[in-house]
Amino acid sequence: MFYHISLEHEILLHPRYFGPNLLNTVKQKLFTEVEGTCTGKYGFVIAVTTIDNVGAGVIQPGRGFVLYPVRYKAIVFRPFKGEVVDAVVTQVNKVGLFTEIGPMSCFISRHSIPSEMEFDPNSNPPCYKTVDEDIVIQQDDEIRLKIVGTRVDKNDIASSAEPQEQPRPLPKSGSPKFWGSHPPIPNFGGSGSWARPLQSWGGLCFPSIKAFLPIFCLFL
């Protein structure tokens, strides 16, 4: 799910950047350093929406660098168990399906795939298919799935999932969407404020971070 939350970040600036464009330099470094990153607590930072405050710089003793505290708002993607999303298949083998949900990797075990679908290693590309080939799942197909577990590391989030109902490729025309219910809104802690989920976008999934940005801009 997508959330619009307040975050903080510190920008370390070299003395060569001190001048009339100092503030713009701090902002550009913020975009570069946080967009596309991931933390286990907040999820994937998709895009910085507003910069609320750039604090007074603190000179680092013995170095000459200055540290600027920045408060900003950003769109983050944080998946949760039970969430239904759309994914792109990136790899198919005998152990299951490897998929991507935007910036996050997700694995579907062979044991979660219906028994009537068999792995065909001789197909080009390899795929899972029914005997009558009415349903074929292969690389680059888009499928709907339900997240059954997540693994949170310091700088990454991965998940495991199972197919939602009968697995089959989604239509290729247009971006896949699921406008379903949401899990409870989590409390991300920090200042104590609750994250605000983007209810209007629901479980919209995207093939890449870059593909999401034009969609976001349309709503500004």
What confidence tens digit (pLDDT) does each residue in 152-187 have?
Answer: 776 677 777 777 655 555 555 444 333 233 334 344
| Mean per-residue pLDDT over the chain, rounded | 76
For residue 103, pLDDT over 80 is answered with yes
pLDDT of residue 165: 59
* Cβ neighbours, 10 Å, residue 32: 10
Segment 107-134 mean pLDDT = 90
Domain boundaries 83-163, corresponding CATH code: 2.40.50.140
What pLDDT digit, counting tens, does each position of 16-42 carry?
988 888 999 999 999 999 998 888 788
> Looking at the chain, which residues constitute the CATH 3.30.1490.120 domain(s)?
2-77
Residues making up the chain, counted from first to last = 220
**Coil/strand/helix, residue 169:** coil
Exposed (0-12), middle (13-18) or buried (19+): which is 83, by Cβ within 10 Å? buried
Residue type, 125: P
DSSP 16: G
Instruction: State phi, psi for 32 to the nearest 5 degrees.
Output: -65, -40
- Cβ neighbors of 210 (< 8 A, separation 6 or more) are none
- Which of 2.60.120.10, 1.25.40.10, 1.10.10.10, 3.30.1490.120 would CATH assign to domain 2-77? 3.30.1490.120
> Looking at the chain, which residues constitute the CATH 2.40.50.140 domain(s)?
83-163
Gap between the Cα atoms of 79 and 218, Å rounded? 23
% of the chain beyond a pLDDT of 70: 73
Assign 70 a pLDDT band (cuts: 50, 70, 90).
very high
Assign 82 a pLDDT band (cuts: 50, 70, 90).
confident
pTM value?
A: 0.63
